[in-house]
Amino acid sequence: MASLLESLDQLGQAALTEISAAGSSKQVEDLRVSFLGKKGKLSEVLRGLKDVSPSDRPQVGAKANVWKDQIESALKSRKSDLENRELTTSIARDVIDTTLPARKSNLGTLHPVTQAIREIVRTLGRLGFDVTTGPEIETEFLCFDAINIPADHPARDMQDTFFVGPGTVLRTHTSPVQMRKMLSQEWPVRVICPGTVYRCDNDATHSPMFHQIEALWVDKNVKMSDLRGVLDFFAKDIFGPKTKIRLRPSYFPFVEPGAEVDVSCFKCAANDPHCSICKGSGWLEILGAGMVHPHLFKVAGYDPEQVSGFAFGLGIERIAMLLFQIPDMRLLFQNDVRFLRQFV
């Protein structure tokens, strides 16, 4: 037993000496493993307990615990002192030079589609149009039947609709939002309906998911001339004060009469036969419009003899492509940061 107690004293003194001489917190950790680890020197000495009589073992165990406590205390104290010293040295060494220029921050920009939406909303808002929205998953009734496109109507096939379930579709236009607005309130109504729409179409000028804004104005004595005035103001505010518009007769189930609306080319003014925007025609087709069909008023519960109105709708991507001269619609949805950074 005497030799075991002596070995414990020698081990303890050696541990305290080496700990006090440690020069870094890593060395302290290595000493902890060396002396107190599962395979450390203290465990190695205590293996000799098997040769000690049972009556003497408590004395040896008590001595071992005393040295273990002293070694742990010394390790903790030395590690704390060294870590504080290392921190002080690091702070003194790693001085920040505040005279150096700061790193350039990468600021985000609004997507060109978002910019186009905001510009259109701002322009029509000046004429008293309020923004309203609706669900993207819509009933067939509101998406088609309510706006004069029954099940056997050819235009229904032209829409290339995504069906979600029986009687439920991904809306192919934002016209259902107009119907929801008329069904929820009495006239007068003056709203614009921006939103995402879906059709089975995908090429350089079409996307299966795109954005529309439709406008609706219902009141007493609303005339085709009011529609032309609004469109003329809209075109000049968006494309420039020299922009002209023209209306070409066209058919849409939900308006009567209907028209395709063109704006004069804001780049070449029809003077360049090789213009990349209008292809030399001098005109750009931007939207469809017309006077609201009486069928829609009847569905909404309005009296077609008392009210009239006009509506028009346009694709946001079309406007964005014209404003920013983007050649391929697919660029708007590829999320290429190099492309998007151009639109500050």
pLDDT at residue 157, as a whole number:
63
- The residues with which 250 forms a beta bridge, in sequence order, are 258
pTM for the whole structure: 0.65
Burial, 227: exposed, middle or buried (Cβ in 10 Å; 0-12, 13-18, 19+)? Answer: buried
- The residues with which 255 forms a beta bridge, in sequence order, are 292
Residue ranges of the chain with per-residue pLDDT less than 70: 1-4, 45-53, 55-57, 60, 154-159, 202-206, 269-272, 276-277
pLDDT at residue 283, as a whole number:
85
Q: What is the largest CA-CA distance in the chain?
A: 118
Q: Which two tokens stand for residue 327?
A: 């050649």
pLDDT at residue 58, as a whole number:
73
pLDDT at residue 324, as a whole number:
85
pLDDT at residue 133, as a whole number:
92
Q: Write the CATH number of the domain with boundaries 112-340.
A: 3.30.930.10
d(CA 41, CA 33): 9
Task: Give the 3-state secondary structure of residue 235.
Answer: helix
Q: What is the C-alpha R_g of the chain? A: 40
